[in-house]
Amino acid sequence: MKLNANIEKVTVCLVLFLVLVSAFFASCKKKGDEDPPVISISRPEVHSEYTVFDTMSVLAAISDASGIEDITVRLLDIDMKPVLPVMTFSGNNKLMYNLQSVIIISDIQIETGTYYLSVTASDGENLETDNVAIVIYEVPRKINGYMLAVSNSTYQTEILQVNKNFTLDTKGSYNFDFSGFAVDNVNQRAVLCGQTKGGLIAIDLIGSQVEWEIPFIDNPPYPYFTAMQEVNGMFYAGKYASSITGYNSEGENRWYAQTNPGFYPAVIAGCGDFVVIAENPVSAGDYRISTYYMSTGSMKQYTDMAYKPVAICQIDATHALISANSGVNAKLYLYSLEDNAMQDVKSFSSETILTTCRVSSRYFIVSTTSGTYQFDMASYSLIPKSTDSPTVMDYDDLNEQVIMGKGSSFKIYNREPWSLFYSAVTADPVLKIKVLYNK
């Protein structure tokens, strides 16, 4: 018994000694290793072509005399930045490793162009990367429907979707009074903003569930929401407590600006690298157009105006078209962000502008109490289009159609030549219309 115990102790010590010696020599080998792994990619083949949502096979043979520790697979754009989540594999210190995997090109936002399937291998001391150029074709942009926010007199706001076959689906009903409405094309969501009832919520349009919510704060100084607009994937919500907050697509606070004291945000728009806000006075006085840096939230400038702004549309990166009213008269202003200057480019006598939407940097659709016009920035001229006077509009640049709403009426007009394409009636008044695209 004693002899066997001694033999076991000697055996254990010998095994430990051999493990330590192996680790020592392996360590020495790694530290003295200057040869990187060798990578040979057989799939995908150079210049092979794929379309978004395709499945791409990845096959690669990797070898290293001192053993492969880990392998990384990336899909990179032309600037060598990842466009999909990175994949990692353990090489288990094998001298030869046959990589077999697949990549599902799942991002619908990927645009047509050249990309690189990149494989990187490490032996603990050296890295080696091999890239294969491929071509990916984007998914064509298309319409997934028209989103309507409708509300009745009991502060019940519904989100409706007019589908491509013109059937009407209810996506949700909420105890909200209405302040703003937008769509998130990337995530296929609708974003609804209340005023003194409800808060700011994002609704998944596939499952009709609330994805995130910014609750309304019902205590002094009553910072209720006064306006909300989507700009470049951010949702900017103005509050009566003289501030505006930018939330990302997941409802995270990523931007904040303190607006002018005594004013609150009433109309919000994006213009180049700036957020342009029409601010209404809490009491009597002039109205104000303020410009904030989109990157920091700090104010660039502001200018006062006697007319009340009702719409702001981007013309280009440094100019905006502002629609404004004063009593029964109205004006269109060309606002220069570079000069902080306002130019009166069109006046309306005995008319009130109800809303304006952008067609292009040259053309805009203007709705007044007298009808609907197309405004040409090149000549500052108006072309009558319809006797309709919609209170809300959006433009479908894919099909070149104007989407209108007034009261319970919902209409779609072809722009050129102008003709009625579709009309319907909703149970409650339409407060906002947005075209929903697939991306």
**Confidence at residue 393, expressed as pLDDT on a 0 to 100 scale:** 98
Measured in whole angstroms, the distance separating CA 120 from the mean position of its chain's CA atoms is 31
Residue entry with tokens 């947005």: 434
* pLDDT score of 27: 47
Q: Count Cα atoms within 13 angstroms, Cβ side, for 80.
A: 5
Where do we find the tokens 């007044």?
A: 368
pLDDT in tens, 280-304: 998 888 999 999 999 999 999 999 9
Work out the angle at residue 108's Cα, subtended by the Cα atoms of residues 139 and 314, and round it to the nearest 5 degrees: 90
For the stretch 191-245, pLDDT in tens is 999 888 888 999 999 988 999 998 876 554 455 889 999 999 999 999 887 889 9
Residue 368 burial by Cβ neighbours in a 10 Å radius (0-12, 13-18, 19+): buried
**For the chain, where do the domains classified as CATH 2.40.128.630 start and end?**
176-305
Q: What is the mean pLDDT of the chain?
A: 90
Mean pLDDT on 303-332: 96
Assigned CATH for 176-305:
2.40.128.630
Of 204-218, 340-354, 418-432, the one with minimum mean pLDDT is 204-218
Predicted local confidence at residue 199, as pLDDT: 87
pLDDT digits (tens, 9 = 90+) for 252-268: 999 999 888 899 999 99
Q: Is 394 buried (19+), middle (13-18) or exposed (0-12) by CB count in 10 A? A: buried
Please report, for residues 64, 297, 330, the alpha-carbon distance to residue 67 in angstroms, rounded to integers and kept in the order given.
5, 51, 76
**Res. 377: pLDDT tops 60:** yes
Q: Report, as an integer, the average pLDDT of 10-35.
A: 51
The pLDDT of 370-375, averaged and rounded, is 98
Q: How confident is the model at residue 154 (pLDDT cuts 50, 70, 90)?
A: confident
Determine the average pLDDT of the residues in 122-133.
95
Lowest mean pLDDT among 15-19, 158-162, 414-418, 434-438: 15-19
pTM check: above 0.85: no
In the chain, CATH 2.60.40.1930 sits at 38-137
Q: What angle do CA 144, 145, 147 make, to 5 degrees?
A: 125
Check whether 85 has a pLDDT greater than 50. yes
pLDDT beyond 50 at 28: no
**How large is the average pLDDT for residues 399-406?**
97
Give me the architecture of the 38-137 domain, per CATH: Sandwich (2.60)
| pLDDT (0 to 100) of residue 15 | 42
* pLDDT at residue 3 greater than cutoff 90: no
What separation in angstroms does the CA of 97 have from each of 91, 103, 132, 171?
7, 19, 19, 50
pLDDT reported for residue 13: 46
Q: What is the pLDDT of residue 392?
A: 98
pLDDT-based confidence at 32, cuts 50/70/90? low
Given a cut of 50, is residue 409 above it in pLDDT?
Answer: yes
